[in-house]
Every structure is written in structure tokens, then in C-alpha cells.
Amino acid sequence: MEEQILQKYIFPRERELIFGSCDFHLERDNSNEEDSYSSSIPITLKELSESKKEPYLILFYFNKDKNILEEWENLGAELSGDEIKLDDSLDTENKNIPKVRFRCINLDYEKKLHATFKNIKISSPYYWAKYFSNEQRYFILFYLNTFPVEFFNDVITEKRVREKYYNDKVDNYYGKFLLTNSVDGRKYLEEQKEKKFKAFDSLKLKGKYFKALQDNKPFAGVVKGRYYKIIETSTNDFKLFEL
């Protein structure tokens, strides 16, 4: 009976690629007092082992995404033997950089996790990862230290993954998310942030609304005469919001 039920769902050939709802913190189910999932933040990974703190690219897919799942398996296999490089000038404390691991989870099968993503509260720090689609479209999240940090809703190619997670520049996943844990890394990021803030301070823009005086100044896409606000969304990362 169980085998017949499982045949309804699409899973990867390699079982080590599979994550389940038990690997995540879920939304508490108030309708069933026996379901005491966790008081931790929903959609974050449980710290069941040290390996959960390592970097993961996780594909959240549905039964109809068989082709996407096969592409994901192949991509993970192609990159499984690569090591992540790090420019020594950026960090002299850490030499062994964990490579990004590929995992996937079937949301048709893991219905509680699917419901958790659909019901993320606006007060959650990960509201940006809320699943709004009624079309059951796959998506990808990058997890680091058990927390989701980036969202993708398109296909990640081998070229894109190599450039973003396996290069030796500061914009790889280590340079962007982990350098803050080292002295050299914090110093480097503070220097870069200070350079950006100089441009903001000259126009008194930091944390305030401003009226653009020229097109594409101080950011590409700015339209003269419109009002904007600059917000730091994460370390050394800024976004522009139109009023």
C-alpha cells in the first residue's frame, strides 16, 4: 500500500538529495495540540547536525516538475567534485570552504511544509520567501547556517552556479555571507560599505527619501523628478524603493 502511494510522487534517483518536512521548522498547527512542531522560525532548517549549517541550494518542486528535477540532479552531479576557491587577500583565517550542497523536496508530498511556505506571516523576517503562486511553480532557496538568504524562481544553470558560488571573488557565497565572521572579512566589508555611504552622504540620502535630480543618478533606473529611498537590505547590499 505504501509503495502504491509513493508511486504517485516524483522523487530524485539519489535519495541523499531528498529533504523532508522533518528537516525544517514548520508552522505550528493550532488545530492539533499533539503537533508541537517547533517554536523556531518556520521554513528555517533544524540544526540536527553540523552539516545543516553548511550551504544548501534547495529546489522546492511539484509532481509536474519532473524535467526540472532531472536537470537539478544532473547539475548537482556535475558540480559535486568542485571545490570553492577563496581569494587569500579577503580572508586569512579560514581556508576550508564548504562547497554548496544540492537538495530538493517535493511539496506535493510534503504538504505541511507547502502550507508553511504559503502561510508565512508578514512579521516573519523571511516573509520575502512566502509562496504566493496558485500555479504550483517550483522555486529555489539558498540556505546558509540553517537560514534562507536568497530566492530564485528561474532555472539555475551550471554557469550561473559556478559564477555565484564557486568563484574566487568577494561576491561568491562565502564572500557575501560568511566573511562577516572573520576579522579580515569584516574590515573588508566595512571599507566597501564606507565607499558606498560616501555617495549617499554627499546627497544626504542615507535612510531618507530624496528627489532624483538626474536620470540614473545615483543609481541606474532612477527617473528625474521622482522620489526614492535607499535601504540597506543586508551587509553591503542596498536597494532603491520608489515613494
Amino acid identity of 113?
A: L
Q: Are residues 113 and 218 in the same domain?
A: no
Q: Are strands 147-152 and 139-144 parallel, antiparallel or unpaired?
A: antiparallel
CATH code, domain with 34: 3.40.30.10
Q: Are residues 155 and 197 in the same domain?
A: no
Domain containing 173 equals 2-181
Q: Are residues 147 and 234 in the same domain?
A: no
Q: Are residues 33 and 151 in the same domain?
A: yes
State the pLDDT confidence band at 158, using cuts at 50, 70 and 90.
confident
Calpha distance 171→191 (Å, rounded): 15
For the beta carbon of residue 61, count every other beta carbon within 10 angstroms: 23
- Average pLDDT of span 144-166: 85
- Average pLDDT of span 155-161: 86
pTM, to two decimals: 0.67
pLDDT at 71 over 70: yes
State the pLDDT confidence band at 237, using cuts at 50, 70 and 90.
low
Q: What are the tens digits of pLDDT across the range 172-221?
A: 777 666 665 556 556 655 665 566 555 445 545 545 566 777 787 767 77
Q: Are residues 197 and 83 in the same domain?
A: no
Amino acid identity of 122?
A: I
pLDDT, residue 1, reads: 39
Q: Are residues 158 and 224 in the same domain?
A: no
Calpha distance 171→205 (Å, rounded): 25
Q: Are residues 150 and 208 in the same domain?
A: no
Q: What are the tens digits of pLDDT across the range 122-144?
A: 888 888 899 887 778 899 999 98
Question: Residue 143: which residues within 8 A CB-CB, separation 6 or more?
Answer: 45, 55, 56, 57, 58, 149
Task: Considering only residues 210 and 148, tell me which one the structure prediction assigns the higher pLDDT.
Answer: 148
Last residue of a domain, one of 181, 199, 214: 181
Q: Are residues 196 and 151 in the same domain?
A: no
> DSSP assignment of 196-230, as one string?
HHHHHHHTT-BTSEEE-SSTT-SSTT--TT-EEEE
Q: Is the peptide bond before 55 cis (omega within 30 degrees of 0)?
A: no
Q: Are residues 29 and 132 in the same domain?
A: yes
Q: What are the tens digits of pLDDT across the range 3-28?
A: 444 568 999 988 889 999 999 999 87
Last residue of a domain, one of 159, 181, 203: 181
- Average pLDDT of span 31-47: 64
pLDDT, residue 40, reads: 75
Last residue of a domain, one of 181, 204, 224: 181
Q: Are residues 142 and 236 in the same domain?
A: no
Calpha distance 52→146 (Å, rounded): 6
Calpha distance 243→239 (Å, rounded): 13
For the chain, the domain total comes to: 2
Q: Are residues 137 and 212 in the same domain?
A: no
**φ/ψ of residue 147, rounded to 5:** -110, 140
